Structure formats: structure tokens, C-alpha cells
């Protein structure tokens, strides 16, 4: 890691404790809720050749020791699920992370699914499957496939200084390769079941690829789908999402 202060970049430094977890480590996402505090998430290769995920926090220019993302190993039984892809924070010590994991038990060839995890007051809870996403099945996964991608978290955003975070991505529906865009909201320590946008047909091969929330708690989502052509936008206010509006170029 390297940090910039007053316009000047310092020397790269290793994240403490990461070498003890495994090798070939890489950072997937970083968030800085304050000028003096940041969080990173990423992955590493464990000695068993399985992938592992880590989190580490920085305060006032000093990095704490990297630690495993709690509960991820119990989800990622196939050991190659991809790991974290998005990170956002409400405030120092209160962050969320999302990405993918691979579970052998879900499908004969293994299925890649979406997960989320949250940190409250400096302590990370267990990674969980995104609530409300249907379990993979033979209607989704090709029987002769080595693996199946059934869902992904692609983006996250928190209302900085507020109380809510939103994660978005896509999951497969009953039709093979027929994905549906989703959002799920984190508030008061709990994740909501996934919400689909009205205005999008399902399955639509749609996805939420970008999210942004204001300090006041309102959010916007952007993505793509067959119904909307090149892209769509949707807006949230007071917990209610608008229909997906096509973006024309």
C-alpha cells in the first residue's frame, strides 16, 4: 500500500500480517471514509491452494494487521469464488463489502454466487449470501458445465455519515443466461431481500454496474439491460426506488 498526503505519495509498504495469511495477495477495493482512515479488501492464495479473503484498516497513517473476512470460508467451499469486488463505508469502522463466492454443494460443477458482509463499530460480521437470491438449479446452470455463475455484487455505495448502504449487481433467473438486476439495502445492521426494478423485463440480461448515495441517504443506480437498450438509471428516495429509465445516446 502507498498513501498520499499534501500532494505527495509516500513509499509503498506491505500490509501487516498479510504474508502470514498466504501468498499472491491482491487488493480488490479501497474506501476512505475520512482523511485519516481507510479500509482495503482483497484476496490471497492460501497454503492449501484455496483462495482466501482479507480486510485491513488504516488510521492516522498506520495500517492494522490484515485479517480473514469472517464467514467467507464457510460459503466459499469450492475455494475459487472470486472474492470481494466492492467496498464502501458509512464512517470509520462501519463499512460493507460484497463480491462472489463459489459453493460446491449448490451445483455439481460448483456455482458462483453473491455475498455481502458488514462491519459495525470496528468489528466485521460474517459474510452471508445476498438475501432473496434464488438458489442455483439445473434450470440456470448447464448440466455439463464445470461451473455456473448465478450472481454477482458489482457495486456498493453508502450514505457517508448516514445510516444506509446499497449493494447492486445481478443474479440468474429460471432461464439460462437470463439475468435480473438487483439492489439490496443495508440498514441497522441488516440486509434487505433483493429488489428488482420495475421497467425492466425479467429475465432481461440486466445488471446494476454503478451506485452512488448522497449523505442525505438518496441513491442512484446505473446499469444495462435489453429492455432499456444501452443503459438505465434508477433513483431511490425514502426507501423507494423509481422505475428504471432508459438512457439514450
Q: Which stretch of 102-106, 139-143, 157-161 has the lowest confidence by average pLDDT?
A: 139-143
Question: Is the model's pLDDT at 188 over the cut of 60?
Answer: yes
Residue holding cell 443495508? 186
Higher model confidence: residue 168 or residue 46?
A: 168
Partnered with residue 156 across adjacent β-strands are 167
pLDDT (0 to 100) of residue 127: 93
C-alpha cell at 116: 455481502
Q: Break the chain into its structural domains and give their ranges.
A: 4-211
pLDDT in tens, 198-232: 877 666 788 899 999 998 889 999 998 876 667 88
What is the rounded radius of gyration, in angstroms, for the C-alpha atoms of the chain?
Answer: 18
Cα-to-chain-centroid distance, residue 174: 23
Question: Is the model's pLDDT at 145 over the cut of 80?
Answer: no
Contacts of 76 (CB under 8 A, 6+ apart): 50, 51, 53, 101, 102, 103
Higher model confidence: residue 28 or residue 4?
A: 28
Let me know: does 11 contact 68? Beta carbons within 8 Å. Answer: no
Let me know: does 185 contact 164? Beta carbons within 8 Å. Answer: yes
pLDDT (0 to 100) of residue 229: 67
pLDDT in tens, 171-181: 886 654 578 88
Please, what's the b/e burial string for 115-124 (b: 16 or more CB within 10 A of its CB; e: otherwise)?
A: bbbbbeeeeb
Question: Is the model's pLDDT at 10 over the cut of 80?
Answer: no
| Cα distances (angstroms) measured from residue 9 to each of 77, 87, 137 | 39, 23, 49
pLDDT in tens, 116-135: 999 999 999 999 999 988 76
Residue 106 pLDDT class (50, 70, 90 cuts)? low
pLDDT (0 to 100) of residue 165: 95
User: pTM here?
Assistant: 0.87
Residue holding cell 451445483? 107
Amino acid at each position: 500500500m502507498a498513501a498520499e498526503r499534501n500532494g505527495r505519495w509516500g513509499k509503498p509498504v506491505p500490509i501487516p500480517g498479510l504474508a502470514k495469511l498466504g501468498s499472491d495477495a491482491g487488493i480488490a477495493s479501497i474506501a476512505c471514509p475520512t482523511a485519516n482512515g481507510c479500509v482495503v479488501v482483497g484476496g490471497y492464495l492460501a497454503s492449501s491452494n484455496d483462495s482466501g479473503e482479507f480486510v485491513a484498516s488504516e488510521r492516522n497513517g498506520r495500517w492494522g494487521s490484515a485479517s480473514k473476512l469472517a464467514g467467507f470460508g464457510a460459503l466459499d467451499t469450492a475455494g475459487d469464488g472470486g472474492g470481494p469486488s466492492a467496498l464502501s463505508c458509512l464512517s470509520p469502522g462501519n463499512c460493507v463489502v460484497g463480491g462472489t463466492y463459489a459453493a460446491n454443494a449448490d451445483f455439481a460443477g460448483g456455482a458462483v454466487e453473491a455475498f455481502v458482509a458488514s462491519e459495525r463499530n470496528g468489528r466485521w460480521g460474517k459474510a452471508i449470501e445476498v438475501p432473496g437470491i434464488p438458489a442455483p438449479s439445473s434450470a440456470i446452470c448447464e448440466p455439463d458445465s464445470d461451473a455456473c455463475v448465478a450472481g454477482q455484487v458489482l457495486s456498493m455505495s453508502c450514505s457517508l455519515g448516514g445510516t444506509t448502504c446499497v449493494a447492486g449487481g445481478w443474479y440468474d433467473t429460471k432461464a439460462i443466461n437470463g439475468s435480473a438486476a438487483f439492489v439490496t439495502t443495508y440498514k441497522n445492521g441488516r440486509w434487505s431481500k433483493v429488489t428488482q426494478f420495475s421497467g425492466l423485463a425479467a429475465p432481461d440480461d440486466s445488471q446494476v454496474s454503478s451506485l452512488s448515495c448522497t449523505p442525505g441517504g438518496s441513491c442512484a443506480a446505473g446499469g444495462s439491460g435489453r429492455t432499456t437498450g444501452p443503459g438505465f438509471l434508477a433513483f431511490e428516495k425514502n426507501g423507494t426506488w423509481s422505475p428504471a429509465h432508459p438512457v439514450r445516446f
